[in-house]
Structure 1
Amino acid sequence: MKTLKEKNQFIATILAFAVIPMSGLATDIYLPSMPSMAAELHKSEASIQLTLSIFLISYGITQFFAGSIVDSFGRYRVSMLSLALFVVSFIITATTKDIMVIYAMRVLQGILSGFAVVSKRAFFVDVYEGDKRKHYLSIMTIVWSVGPIIAPFIGGYLQKHFGWQSNFYVLAGYSLLLLLLEFIFSGETLKKRNPFHIDFLIKEYNSMFKTKDFFYGMLMCGLSYSIVMFFNLCGSFIIEHKMGYSEVVAGSVSLILGFAWMTGGFLGKALINKAFLPKIRYANFMQIILIILMFATSYFTSNIYSLVIFAFLIHVTAGFIFNNYFAYCIGRFPNSAGVAGGLTGGVAFIITSAISYGIVSVIKPEIQLQVAEGYFVLGILGLFILSMIKIRKAHI
């Protein structure tokens, strides 16, 4: 097995950072293209929205066991195989007209994203120690959030000039470039392989699910990210079809809302020393107040500016709650941080996919008022979970 050479460590680190945003790129780059995909493939909006939901479900499920697999088979081999299959799957997605084939490829891409991200997250733990490791892991979190921010902005221009297929050709080219550079400069970083024991994983997961504060924390992560994904599923259709704006504008709106999510994360870090539950409750309270204001405003004015302003502020609160609870859940089991992180991410993305797609399917948002209705459902669900945490004293 080819091992990482010390002289290539810096380049391999840059390549790891380049792989980390792949999940965000794969989910968000084609958001502005969803209306065009529906028109060209002669499918309903719900059929195209499902391509995003099934990606998130497979991505979430993969995180349950990906950590144990890369601990057993190595980071380099898993990463290389994932990148190679990315190239093939993205090309197939771009060239087919069969929605079922696209669904199959999206499931595969979700699985590959899970393995790629987990293997590169483990890379930093293998290669660096102490403060340097903390430094790179903190950068990794920021880099991961960059993908969903820039992807739809790029996708808007790709859609305008080249059509929806260009998004997947670009992803295939990006994956191929990373595959070649990984082959030249990277290598295996795992020093000791651990056997894959499914019984141990089940025992760990069972223990974690029974821990009340951790369980409710996972639910809050899923609900918070559902707010973002709910808008992702319906936003482009509203902006392009109902408001009459271009794909570039839809991509720019996603870019702005991506910054809202990041702003919430930075606020979470800035207020890290504040009492945990009170600040979460305050954020949820602000979220519901903003949603009620969005409701009221919708009866007097409803345009792209009012839609984006309210969505931005609501997404800031969602980002704040998610980042606080995600960090809490990972740190809840310091001796099993990898397993806890995989379980938290897996459950959160599955909840996100199911709830966001379910709300969009029921409400079928076409105007600002209906977007507010979807937000309201999620805000009230968050309030319910926080009330259960208080009633059951599910916090340490």
Structure 2
Amino acid sequence: MHLKTASAKRKKYATILTFLTVPLSGFMTDVYLPSFPSMAENLDVSERSIQLTLTCFFLSYGVVQLFVGGILDSIGRYKPVLLSLLVLVVSSLGIAFTKDVFVICLLRIVQGVGTSFIVVAKRAYFVDLYNNVQRKNFLSYFTIVWSCGPIIAPFLGGYLESLFSWQANFFFLAIYATVLFFGELFIGGETIRNFKKFNLRKTALLYTVMLKNKGFLSGILILGLAYSVVMVFNIAGPFLVEHHFNFTPVVIGYCTLILGLSWMLGGIISKKMVHYAFNPKILFFTAFQLVLIGVLIGLGIQYDNLFLLMGFAFIIHICSGFVFTNYFTNNMLFFPSNAGISGGLMGGLLYIITSISSYVISSSGTIVSTFDMSLRYLLIALPLALVIFFAVRYRSKRLKKPLLHV
């Protein structure tokens, strides 16, 4: 059934179901973060092997987003979403029952593909069904609802790990996907207005043109590195909190919950400062982030304390959230006539960069102290600052304004 011809009541329920689906990607990545240490112990593998399971998800999730928009435009949204939800159910159960980390990595790649189809289809839902005024109203809630995933997921995962085991996280994901599947089966429907033939050559040509735009390309690099700052704690934090500071998985969940809120706070501050000149505010928050990391490095030499680390990480993540929100909005304005394709390219490359950063963090050596964590923050924040500096210079030249003109 096409939702365009559905009753107002059914369309309302389908919209609620869509909002329940939006946080899925956050749950897929973050719900099992507090279980990293116990997974490594239970599967008798290294920390790096468990961290690689997250990298695998990010990589496939990013790569598929480069093409999934065109595929969904040619075959529709509804059936691919149903199939993808079934894939998530089966793969989550497969991870819960296996003892082989290699199999888990393969299944996480499969989950990245399935999640990509679902997220892109649901992102298009509001564009397909609603007019401009209604669309703006719903999309204003979209980011807020999406942010709930990375905030709630590790908090829930900490308790699931503490009360049951690491496998409980993936049983939860299977149940979540099952509920969404039956919701789609009985309430959902097709939303696409007009089917379009998938043209890989045309898409590749558009991508080439977009990537030749230095402002757009630097914006993608900044988005990927800004999000990678968050991944420093997500990748290494669970092992540090449990093995070094001797806290429980529940505490890991609270830590990631707090840092998720700080990321959201950075976005809120960004919206409050929307009328401030772009270059000065970006340079200020970037420099402030580097200063904070420098101070944390200095203090980390003498003091090794979780509360110290969390206090500085909270503000560092606010800075990254601020930068991310500003550049996300800025990048969406480069190609307004091809917003869907540019959004897919931006989202895909963002997660590919994040997967590379995650691998670099997990491969950078043992992290056993506050000082070690501060160096990893510097490892990501320094390249971020350099790219921002050159991006700001390019923006100033393009707009023919002085570098720090307010």
TM-score above 0.5, yes or no: yes
User: 2:215·2:394 contact (CA, 8 Å) conserved in 1?
Assistant: no
Secondary structure class of the residue paired with 1:26 = helix
Give me the whole-angstrom Cα distance separating, in 2, the residues matched to 1:377 and 1:141.
28
Task: Work out the CA distance in 2 between the residues paired with 1:84 and 1:185.
Answer: 16
Tell me the CA shift for residue 102 of structure 1: 0.5
Cα separation, 1, equivalents of 2:330 and 2:394: 18
AA matched with 1:107: I
Match of 1:21 in 2: 23
Once superposed, what is the RMSD of the aligned Cα atoms? Answer: 1.2
Which of 177, 183, 186 matches 1:184? 186
Q: Which runs of 5+ in 1 are unaligned?
A: none
Name the CA distance, whole Å, in 2 between partners of 1:395 and 1:86. 45
1:134 match: 136
Using the alignment, how far apart are the partners of 1:392 and 1:307 within structure 2? 35
1:109 aligns with: 111
Letter in 1 for 2:354: T
Question: Which aligned pairs between 1:3-14 and structure 2 lie closer than 5 A?
Answer: 3-4=2-3, 5-6=6-7, 7-14=9-16
1:365 to partner: Cα distance = 1.6
Tell me how far apart the structure 2 counterparts of residues 355 and 177 of structure 1 sit (CA, whole Å). 33
Determine the structure 1 residue equivalent to 2:333: 331
Deviation per residue, 1:263-297 (Å, 9 max, x gap): 01111111112211221111100100110111122
Q: Show the counterpart of 1:123.
A: 125
Matches within 5 A, 1:3-82: 3-4=2-3, 5-6=6-7, 7-82=9-84
> Which of 240, 252, 255 lines up with 2:254 in the alignment?
252
How far apart, CA to CA, are the structure 2 residues paired with 1:283 and 1:344?
Answer: 22
Could you say what secondary structure the match of 2:45 adopts?
coil
Inter-partner Cα distance in structure 2 for 1:123 and 1:280: 32
User: CA–CA distance in 1 between the matches of 2:382 and 2:189?
Assistant: 48
What CA distance in whole angstroms lies between the structure 1 residues aligned with 2:16 and 2:360?
A: 38
Contact 1:389 1:395 in 2 (8 A): no
Amino acid paired to 2:240: I
Q: Hey, what does 1:377 align to over in structure 2?
A: 379
Q: Please, which of 348, 366, 369 is the counterpart of residue 367 of structure 1?
A: 369
Is contact 2:219-2:391 (8 Å) kept?
no
Structure 1 residue 228 displacement after superposition: 0.5
Aligned residue number for residue 278 of structure 1: 280
State the Cα distance separating 1:62 from its structure 2 match. 1.2
Partner of 2:196: 194
User: Could you tell me how far apart the structure 1 residues matched to 2:392 and 2:192 are?
Assistant: 42
2:158–2:252 CA contact under 8 A, matched in 1:
yes
Deviation at 1:366, TM superposition (A): 1.4
Cα distance in structure 2, aligned partners of 1:135 and 1:365: 44
Give the counterpart letter for 1:53 in structure 2.
T
Identity score, percent: 43
Cα deviation digits, residues 145-174 of structure 1 (max 9, x gap) = 110100000000000111000000011011
Pair 1:296 & 2:298 matched:
yes
Aligned 8 A contact 1:123 1:189 in 2: yes
Which amino acid in structure 2 is aligned with residue 84 of structure 1?
A: L
- Return the TM-score normalized by structure 2: 0.95
What letter is aligned with 1:266?
I
**1:264/1:319 contact within 8 Å kept:** yes
Q: CA deviation at 1:100?
A: 1.4
5+ long unaligned stretches in structure 2:
400-406
Amino acid at match of 2:11: Q
Q: Which amino acid aligns with 1:103?
A: C
- SS in structure 2 at match of 1:302: coil
**Which of 210, 216, 219 is the matching residue for 2:218?**
216
CA contact (8 A) 1:227 1:356 kept: no
- Structure-1 residue corresponding to 2:175: 173
Q: CA deviation at 1:392?
A: 4.4
